[in-house]
Amino acid sequence: MRDSRRPLPLFLLAAGLWLTCSSSLWAVDNHRKFLEGLRERGYFDTAVDYLDGLAADPTCPPDLKEEIDYQAGTTWVLAAAQTRVTLTREQYLNRAMDRLKKFVQEHPQHPLVGDANAQLAQVLVERAKTTLASAEGKPEAEAARLREEARAAIQEAQKSFAVFLAAARKRAEAFQGRVVDSNSREGREREAAYRDYLRARLYAVGAQYQLAQTYPPGDETRNKLLQEAADEYGKIYDTYADYGAGLVARLQQGVCLQELGKDKEASAIFEETLTLPADDPATQPLRTEALARLCEILRKQGNHQAVVARAQEWMDATRPNIRNSEVGLRLQFFAGMSAVELAQTAEKNNDARLAQELRATAKQFLEAAARLPNPNRGEAQAALAGLAGEVQAEGPVQGFADAVERGDSAWNRFIAAMAQSQQDANAAQTREEADAARDAAIGLYRAALRYAAPDIMEQVNAIRFKLVYLLWDADRLEECAVLGEFLTRRYPQAAGSNAAGEVAVKAVRKLFLDTLKQGGDGEWELQWMVRLADYLVQRWPDQNQAAEAVL
């Protein structure tokens, strides 16, 4: 099944925007690391809340305060690219436009204005993707009209990308042939100019790829645009193979080739991408897209065993926010359906034990795809119903109140099951019930945060407080630590803020110990733990949580 709505290029472009900010922008290193962690783990609303808080923070550098609207706008664009709910996606894009336009209007001479205008153009592309998605299943006349509407939006965006590319090229060319100290201000400006140029090229070719999606499969114009995009991605990779932009270009070259029906060439590129480090957060989105694409090809070839085996390896090495992204859910759906195919084959061969094991594996993969919004959700639910004899999903969340009500219900089931497991003879089964309720509560509470309005912060922080404990119990330690630290620093007066900080310290401590067990030096985790413990001691010197944090 092909899905033209690709969040990956925008995800990495937005990450590139973050990484190319000048060192003067992030003079306070803690701001940079903390905000980066929020974005990387998918806490986009929390990241914007943190940015807005910095506006009144006396320790925030003036350069950063100037760019808060720009950073908030790019965060909302990134959030829109990752969400699977059309209404929420549109809300995020509206917020992105508001913040980016505000930045451009208030800082017309700022060096990032060109980039902000490119981000505004990217909003047009994202909306075009939504329009294209709505064309699926429509009568041909209506589908053709929607494709034309999306095409016009992308062509309008291409004009802005061309302006940004021309300016970025001119700026980069100004440094050619000049010898500068890479550690000097001029050296940093040169590095930023080169990165802007690479990013501008990716924007331009990415828009061309999306333009190809506005033509039906097999259409001559579509194939021509895809081949041109593949060639341009190849040129970028050939010149910048050692840069992050080069890796993105290489993967997208494979995507274009796959959509042109050149599976052999595409598979080679996807396999190449999968040699990137599996434990690096920066490469996990790339690896996930590559593996999902490769599994699509393997399924077409009937190699279901390879799909299941490689998906299981991926699950063990991938962060939860990547597993639950649209691409991650697509990969799990493919693996689940392949496991179903293998189970049916085992049953035909009278191997009941193997068939049972494969059905359990299929259920493991399909549960997330059936629970969370994604294009394959209906098929995943149907497959699960066939495996378990019942429908798994309650239906989509209908807003903040619905998400909170259902989240509180799941939270209460979790607390009750945890209490019962302490005295229940059948503790293992009760623990499974607690885990299921906990996972449901996490998903529902995070949905509530996406719908939350800014005037109910007390209720929002109560949800965040529960999430800290739920994430700790789920062993999602980095997410737990990031959210706990955010709550205790940003809202120190909130009920439970100090307790959230204590849990965050414990989560970082466990990360530290896990890193040591895996042969790492743990220096980054140790510094994080000490910094957070010091803050708790200074903020609440007379409370037990501070003493616990120091210990």
> How confident is the model at residue 210, as a pLDDT?
96
Q: How confident is the model at residue 543 (pLDDT cuts 50, 70, 90)?
A: low
Residue 187 pLDDT greater than 80, yes or no: yes
Tokens of 204: 């331009």
Q: Is the pLDDT of residue 432 over 70?
A: yes
At residue 6 the predicted structure's pLDDT band, cuts being 50, 70 and 90, is: very low
Per the CB < 8 A criterion, the answer to whether 161 and 200 are in contact is yes
- Determine the pLDDT at residue 394: 56
**pLDDT digits 0-9 by tens, 335-373:** 999 999 999 999 999 998 899 899 989 988 998 888 777
Could you give the CA distance from residue 389 to residue 392 in angstroms, rounded to a whole number? 9
How confident is the model at residue 26, as a pLDDT? 34
State which of 161-170, 319-328, 387-396, 405-414 shows the largest mean pLDDT: 161-170
User: Is the pLDDT at 152 greater than 70, yes or no?
Assistant: yes
Greatest CA separation found in the chain?
76
Token pair for 38: 């929020």
- pLDDT for residue 232: 97
> Looking at the predicted structure, is the pLDDT value of residue 413 above 90?
no
Q: What is the pLDDT of residue 317?
A: 84
Please name the amino acid found at residue 550. Answer: V
Average pLDDT, the chain: 83
Task: Check pLDDT > 60 for residue 523.
Answer: yes
> Distance between CA 389 and CA 55 in Å, rounded?
53
Q: What is the pLDDT of residue 251?
A: 97
Which pLDDT score is estimated for 27? 42
206 pLDDT more than 90: yes
Q: How far apart are CA 37 and CA 511, in angstroms?
A: 15
Find the mean pLDDT for residues 221-248: 94
The mean-pLDDT minimum among 41-45, 111-115, 446-450, 481-485 falls in: 41-45
Per-residue tokens: 439: 């996972």
Q: What is the pLDDT of residue 287?
A: 95
Q: Is the pLDDT of residue 426 over 80?
A: no
CA distance 160 to 43: 29
At 548, the pLDDT band (50, 70, 90 cuts) reads very low
Q: What percent of the chain has pLDDT over 70?
A: 89
- pLDDT of 77 > 50? The answer is yes
pLDDT of residue 34 exceeding 80, the answer is: no
Say which residues have a Cβ less than 8 Å from residue 96's Cβ, sequence separation at least 6. 73, 74, 76, 77, 80, 119, 123
- Whether 62 shows a pLDDT value over 80: the answer reads yes
pLDDT digits (tens, 9 = 90+) for 376-408: 887 888 787 777 543 344 566 778 888 888 888
16 falls in which pLDDT band (50, 70, 90)? very low
pTM for this entry: 0.67
Of 84-88, 294-298, 450-454, 501-505, highest mean pLDDT: 294-298
Structure confidence by residue, pLDDT tens digits, 82-106 = 776 778 888 899 999 999 999 999 9
Q: Which residues of 120-138 are buried (b: 16+ CB within 10 A; e: fewer)?
A: bbbbbbbbbbbbbbebeee
